[in-house]
Amino acid sequence: MRVAACIALLTAMAGAALAAEIPLDQRRSGYSFMSADTKAMQDEDTDNPGMLSVLDGETLWKRKAGTADKACADCHNDAHVSMKGVAAHYPAFEKAFGKPVDLEARINLCRTNHQQASPFAYESRELLALTAYVAQQSRGVPIAPGDDPELAPFVEKGHALFMQRQGQLNLACANCHDDNWDKKLAGSAITQGQPTGYPLYRLEWQALGSLQRRLRACITGIRAQAYDYGSPELVELELYLMSRARGMPVETPAVRP
């Protein structure tokens, strides 16, 4: 019964014409779709398992690494001061590459260039912890990426990917997250896909995870081949989603079902 309903809804979505982007005053964080119990997990730091990674990140921030034998803190000092608001501006344009990099990639660039250490693997405990620690310093800060005019073509690429139907279900991100965000899919609320709290603790994962992991899961969900971690497509999608969420406060580390 549930399976039938699920397919019917997805088919309905696939057939519908794309609506416009969500009006600014109707944008809602994934938080607002959650049950009171799940909200409570995010509301109190001592209840939020994502804070365990933030604590790990604080330890890593102060730990010397690489042949340079430098810690993040040796250059950036107190993260509470130096990293405040930083995550709200990512992905940011990296001149050396001529393209945007997300916060995880920025941390790894710092590791390879300045600490002369090997980069952390995507979704590794260390990379998630440092990213969460840096991003948590922006909690409450309005999201504001893409001010650099050089980013504009990449925001457009991300937007195009968001609107692009793909996979066996022939769905675009927009079919669910622009057009049907007030509905449900099986028992779950369809959210607007606002990336306000990454890295975040997902109950499904029972762990912290990045926005790239969430995007890959969504793409797998529509039965398409997920882009590789670090691929330009994922960074462009991240960039578009952040520009779409402009002005919404950072919630890292958020909790989501």
Partner 1 sequence: MANSEHTRRTFFGLTGGAAAMVIVRPADATPAMLSAAIRNVVGEANVRTGKVKLEIPPLVENGNTVPMTVSVTSPMTADEYVKSIHVFNEKNPQPNIGNFYLGPRAGRAQVSTRIRLADSQKVTAIARLSDDTFWSATADVVVTLAACTEEAI
Partner 2 sequence: MPSALINVPKKAKRGDIIEIKTLMSHIMETGYRHTASGDVVPRDIITSFTCRFNGTEVFRADLYPAIAANPFITFFTTVTESGKFEFEWIGDKGFSETASASITVE
Q: Which residues of the shown chain bind partner 2 in the complex (CB under 8 A)?
A: 45-47, 49, 51-53, 55-56, 59, 125, 206-207
Closest CA to 29 of 248, 255, 214, 182: 248
Least separation, in Å, of the C-beta of 210 and partner 1?
13
Q: What is the DSSP letter of 70?
A: B
Q: Are 237 and 184 in contact (CB under 8 A)?
A: no
Helix axes 125-136, 50-62, angle to 10 degrees: 90
Closer residue to partner 2 (CB): 60 or 173: 60
Q: Is 186 in the site for partner 1 (CB under 8 A)?
A: yes
Q: Which is nearer to partner 1, 2 or 95 (CB)?
A: 2
Considering only 8, 40, 55, 152, the residue that binds partner 1 (CB under 8 A) is 40
Among the listed residues 13, 22, 34, 208, the single contact to partner 1 using CB under 8 A: 34
- The Cα–Cα gap between 172 and 18 comes to 9
User: Does 173 belong to an annotated binding site?
Assistant: yes
Catalytic residue among 9, 163, 218, 224: 218
Which of 52, 65, 73, 217: binder of partner 1 (CB under 8 A)?
A: 217
Q: Does 167 bind partner 1 (CB under 8 A)?
A: yes
Closest to partner 1 by CB, 14 vs 109, is: 14
Beta bridge pairs of residue 189: 184
168 CB-near residues (< 8 Å, 6+ apart): 222, 223, 224
- CA–CA gap between residue 47 and residue 50 (Å, rounded): 9
Q: Least distance in Å: CB of 10 to partner 1?
A: 8
Q: How far apart are CA 132 and CA 145, in angstroms?
A: 18
- The answer to the question of residue 221 lying near partner 1 (CB under 8 A) is yes
Shortest CB 52 distance to partner 2, Å: 4
Check binding of 169 to partner 1 (CB under 8 A): yes
218 given a catalytic annotation: yes
Q: Is 76 annotated as a binding residue?
A: yes
Query: In which region does residue 170 sit, left (phi positive, over 0), alpha (psi from -120 to 50) or beta (all else)?
Result: left
Residues 6+ apart with CB under 8 A from 249: 139, 140, 141, 142, 143, 196
DSSP state, 93? E
Q: Report the binding-site residues.
A: 72, 75-76, 110, 173, 176-177, 214, 218
Residue numbers of the site for partner 1 (CB under 8 A)? 2-3, 6-7, 34-35, 37-38, 40-41, 167-169, 185-188, 190, 203-204, 206, 216-218, 220-221, 223-225, 257
What are the catalytic residues?
218
Q: Report the binding-site residues for substrate.
A: 214
